[in-house]
């Protein structure tokens, strides 16, 4: 029964995506051109960057490529649930779903599954283009550790997306904190540059972002082939974020649903 | 032994809180806007209740409360004997809520894909659930076209089809013929009569007198959140009765 509902949402999103045949080509093009830009930026910087990047293999391009890939994944975790809720509210599909024997938490979780599948495909596109076109060697990548880090990155960021969706349900406005967190993570999480070049106090602030630890771990797993034991610090921190934030986010979301049913705002935006 | 009502509503009230800054700061917050006041009724299986009332009288609020899309401020609702507050998921197998919002579909998908999605949410196999309702609603020629390409009348038929996918025994319809042209209106009315003939329990809310005149069953008029069941006296037109109740001269709810 649960699988049928999971399949319902997955098929729905897949068919919607398929109805825009240029989406995949556009996505490939966006990733390709972004990689080209950073590839030549890396060429321009050449060896000058290597003192900061020694721990990641010394080259800028593979360093930034992993950062870009994880940033797109984080974006999905932070924004996709609220986007889905927003569409459901203004189109009326949310009410139509809620009169079926499907709970709102189930609707929320199932409706983002395809988004995560799609985000994983994007990561694969980043890695694939880097290997195929830019001749980056990823032979040393530790795949089990990469998979574990991606799952933990998802579990640590998803609660922020759930809180954002709850905020949208309750107040009819996008949550400014989550939007700011996305920007902060890109800036302070180390997508474009190593954290060592930040002032000490900013580097300390970045440690409070789950993204910083997810990205550091992912770079070590993909570029240096670190295994689960070597990544235990990042894994523990991400698990702690998930353990604390998941129940909190579910409580916030349940409160938002109660508010929306009390105020009659499930279909208002 | 008396049988269980299909729908029972007891002392149902709904206040929508006013969300203004000055109310947050006040020591005693006002109760909010009253949409329903102590509404009670029972509907047995196979019965129909048409609820007539002007805009803003609380009709849609009542139907959404029964569909568990809203929580009551006071009072209780039972569907097939189950309290909606305690068993809101399981009672949805009995309820077919026809939203009459023809935009509440996925426009880029075909009619079949839309109905298949909602069938899966009811834990049904779309291949079993969709064809019978598509046949009844004469939707077969449209199933493979994208939803956005349909006329409003066809979209409304899809909306009704969605509410019937799981063969519910109770139907809730909110303004089923609004925005439809005369031919599409007539088709929907024929369909409702057909569903009545099949023994479905129906609650239809509308502000159109001619809607009620075409339906058989009980009639209630809603005014300012209060529901009063009425029966036109011999020789009394429905329009006169409605005017009397809504304008408050004589029959109006206390």
Range in A154-158, B47-51, B246-250 the model is least confident about = B246-250
- Provide the shortest C-alpha distance from residue A75 to chain B (in Å): 24
pLDDT, average across residues A30-51: 85
Is B101 within 8 Å of chain A by CB? yes
Task: Report DSSP letters for A194-222, one per residue.
Answer: -GGGS-HHHHHHHTTSHHHHHHHHHHHHH
Three-class HEC string of A122-190: HHHHHHHHHHHCCCCCCCCCCHHHHHHHHHHHHHHHHHHHHHHHHHHHHHCCCCHHHHHHHHHHHHHCC
pLDDT band at A59 (very low <50, low <70, confident <90, very high): confident
Q: Which helix (H) or strand (E) holds A24?
A: helix A22-45
What's the residue count for chain B? 254
**Does the pLDDT value for residue B253 go beyond 50?**
no
Distance of CA A72 to the CA centre of its chain: 6
pLDDT band at B29 (very low <50, low <70, confident <90, very high): low
Neighbours of A105 (CB within 10 A): 13
The CATH superfamily assigned to B7-94+168-247 is P-loop containing nucleotide triphosphate hydrolases (3.40.50.300)
pLDDT band at B251 (very low <50, low <70, confident <90, very high): very low
What is residue A179's predicted lDDT score, i.e. its pLDDT? Answer: 74
Kindly state the percentage of chain A with pLDDT values over 90.
Answer: 39
Angle at B234 between CA B37 and CA B210, to 5 degrees: 60
Q: Do B120 and A95 touch (CB under 8 A)?
A: no
d(CA B30, CA A59): 65
Neighbours of B76 (CB within 10 A): 15
**Does the pLDDT value for residue A96 go beyond 60?**
yes
B83 and B75 Cβ atoms separated by less than 8 Å? no
What is residue B24's predicted lDDT score, i.e. its pLDDT? Answer: 59
**Does the pLDDT value for residue A46 go beyond 70?**
yes
- Provide the shortest C-alpha distance from residue B125 to chain A (in Å): 9
pLDDT, average across residues A227-243: 95
What is residue A8's predicted lDDT score, i.e. its pLDDT? Answer: 93
Please name the residue that has the structure tokens 């020629």: B141
What is residue B8's predicted lDDT score, i.e. its pLDDT? Answer: 95
pLDDT, average across residues A128-154: 92
What is residue B112's predicted lDDT score, i.e. its pLDDT? Answer: 97
pLDDT, average across residues B135-156: 93
List, in order, residues 6 or more apart from B70 with CB less than 8 Å away: A261, A262, A264, A266, B14, B61, B64
Longest dimension (CA), chain B: 61
pLDDT band at B25 (very low <50, low <70, confident <90, very high): low
Mean pLDDT of all residues belonging to chain B: 87
Is B179 within 8 Å of chain A by CB? no
List, in order, residues 6 or more apart from A61 with CB less than 8 Å away: A38, A39, A42, A43, A130, A134, A136
What is residue A83's predicted lDDT score, i.e. its pLDDT? Answer: 86
Please report, for chain B, the start and end positions of each structural domain, with discontinuous segments joined by +: 7-94+168-247
**Does the pLDDT value for residue A115 go beyond 90?**
no
B77 and B132 Cβ atoms separated by less than 8 Å? no
**Does the pLDDT value for residue B254 go beyond 60?**
no
- Provide the shortest C-alpha distance from residue A222 to chain B (in Å): 38
Angle at A232 between CA A229 and CA A234, to 5 degrees: 140
Q: Do B120 and A4 touch (CB under 8 A)?
A: yes
Q: What Å distances lie between residue B145 and B108, B129, B142, CA to CA?
A: 9, 19, 6
Neighbours of A161 (CB within 10 A): 27
Distance of CA B60 to the CA centre of its chain: 7
Q: Do B121 and A101 touch (CB under 8 A)?
A: yes
| Per-residue pLDDT tens over the stretch B161-178 | 999 999 999 999 998 888
What is residue A49's predicted lDDT score, i.e. its pLDDT? Answer: 61
Mean pLDDT of all residues belonging to chain A: 88
What is residue B27's predicted lDDT score, i.e. its pLDDT? Answer: 61
d(CA B153, CA A209): 52
d(CA A181, CA A162): 14
Look up residue A201 and give its two tokens: 């106090």
Helix axes A210-223, A60-91, angle to 10 degrees: 130
What is residue B252's predicted lDDT score, i.e. its pLDDT? Answer: 45
Is A261 within 8 Å of chain B by CB? yes
pLDDT, average across residues B66-72: 92
B86 and B117 Cβ atoms separated by less than 8 Å? no
ipTM over 0.85: yes
Is A240 within 8 Å of chain B by CB? no
Pairing state between β B74-79 and B7-16: antiparallel
Write out residues 52-91 of A within 8 Å (CB-CB) of B: 91
Collect all residues of chain B within an 8 Å Cβ-Cβ radius of residue A264. 14, 16, 35, 61, 64, 70
Q: Do A12 and B17 touch (CB under 8 A)?
A: no
**Does the pLDDT value for residue A153 go beyond 80?**
yes
What is residue B250's predicted lDDT score, i.e. its pLDDT? Answer: 47
Is B89 within 8 Å of chain A by CB? yes
| Per-residue pLDDT tens over the stretch A189-217 | 889 988 888 888 888 888 999 999 999 99
Which of B35, B60, B69, B178 has the most A C-beta neighbours within 10 Å, making it the best mutation to test the interface with A? B69
**Does the pLDDT value for residue B143 go beyond 90?**
yes
Q: Identify the closest residue of chain B to A7 by CA–CA distance.
A: B120
pLDDT, average across residues A159-182: 80
Q: Is the dihedral of CA A28, A33, A34, A38 positive or negative?
A: positive
CA dihedral B205, A170, A84, B98 (to 10 degrees): -10
**Does the pLDDT value for residue B10 go beyond 80?**
yes
Which of B121, B124, B146 has the most A C-beta neighbours within 10 Å, making it the best mutation to test the interface with A? B121
Look up residue B88 and give its two tokens: 């809101």
What is residue B26's predicted lDDT score, i.e. its pLDDT? Answer: 63
Collect all residues of chain B within an 8 Å Cβ-Cβ radius of residue A19. 108-109, 146
């Amino acid at each position: 029964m649960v699988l049928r509902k999971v399949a319902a949402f997955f098929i729905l999103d897949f068919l919607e995506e398929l109805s825009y045949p240029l989406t995949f080509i556009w996505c490939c093009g966006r990733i390709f051109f972004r990689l080209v830009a950073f590839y030549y930026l890396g060429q321009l910087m050449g060896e000058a960057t290597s003192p900061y990047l020694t721990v990641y293999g010394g080259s800028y391009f593979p360093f930034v490529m992993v950062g870009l890939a994880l940033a797109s994944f984080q974006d999905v975790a932070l924004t996709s649930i609220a986007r889905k809720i927003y569409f459901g509210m203004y189109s009326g599909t949310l009410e139509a779903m809620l009169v079926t024997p499907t709970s709102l938490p189930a609707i929320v979780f199932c409706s983002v599954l395809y988004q995560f599948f799609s985000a994983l495909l994007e990561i694969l596109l980043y890695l694939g283009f880097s290997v195929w076109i830019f001749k980056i060697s990823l032979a040393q990548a530790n795949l089990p550790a990469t998979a574990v880090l991606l799952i933990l990155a998802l579990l640590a960021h998803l609660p922020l997306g759930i809180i954002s969706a709850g905020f949208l349900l309750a107040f009819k406005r996008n949550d400014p904190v989550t939007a700011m967190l996305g920007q902060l993570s890109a800036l302070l999480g180390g997508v474009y540059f190593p954290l060592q070049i930040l002032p000490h106090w900013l580097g300390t602030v970045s440690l409070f972002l789950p993204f910083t630890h997810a990205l550091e771990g992912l770079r070590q797993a993909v570029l240096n082939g670190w295994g689960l034991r070597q990544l235990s610090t990042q894994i523990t921190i991400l698990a702690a974020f998930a353990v604390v934030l998941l129940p909190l986010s579910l409580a916030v979301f349940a409160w938002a649903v109660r508010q929306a049913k009390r105020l009659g705002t499930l279909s208002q935006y | 032994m008396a049988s269980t009502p299909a729908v029972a509503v007891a002392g149902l009230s709904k206040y929508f809180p006013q969300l203004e800054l000055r109310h947050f700061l006040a020591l005693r917050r006002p109760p909010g806007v009253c949409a329903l006041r102590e509404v009670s009724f029972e509907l047995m299986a196979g019965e129909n209740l048409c609820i007539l009332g002007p805009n803003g009288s609380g009709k849609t609020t009542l139907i959404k409360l029964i569909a568990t899309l809203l929580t009551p401020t006071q009072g209780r609702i039972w569907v097939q004997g189950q309290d909606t507050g305690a068993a809101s998921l399981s009672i949805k197998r009995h309820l077919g809520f026809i939203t009459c919002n023809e935009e509440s579909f996925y426009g880029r998908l075909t009619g079949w894909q839309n109905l298949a999605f909602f069938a899966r949410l009811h834990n049904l196999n779309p291949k079993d659930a969709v064809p019978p309702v598509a046949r009844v609603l004469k939707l077969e020629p449209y199933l493979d076209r994208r939803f956005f390409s349909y006329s409003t009348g066809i979209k409304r038929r899809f909306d009704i089809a969605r509410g019937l996918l799981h063969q519910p025994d109770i139907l809730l319809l909110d303004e089923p013929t609004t925005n439809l042209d005369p031919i599409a209106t007539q088709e929907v009315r024929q369909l409702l009569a057909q569903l009545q003939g099949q023994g479905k329990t129906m609650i239809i809310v509308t502000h159109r007198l001619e809607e009620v005149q075409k339906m058989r069953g009980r009639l209630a008029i809603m005014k300012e959140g209060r529901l009063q069941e009425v029966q036109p006296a011999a020789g009394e037109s429905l329009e006169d009765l409605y005017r009397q109740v809504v304008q408050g001269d004589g029959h109006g709810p206390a």
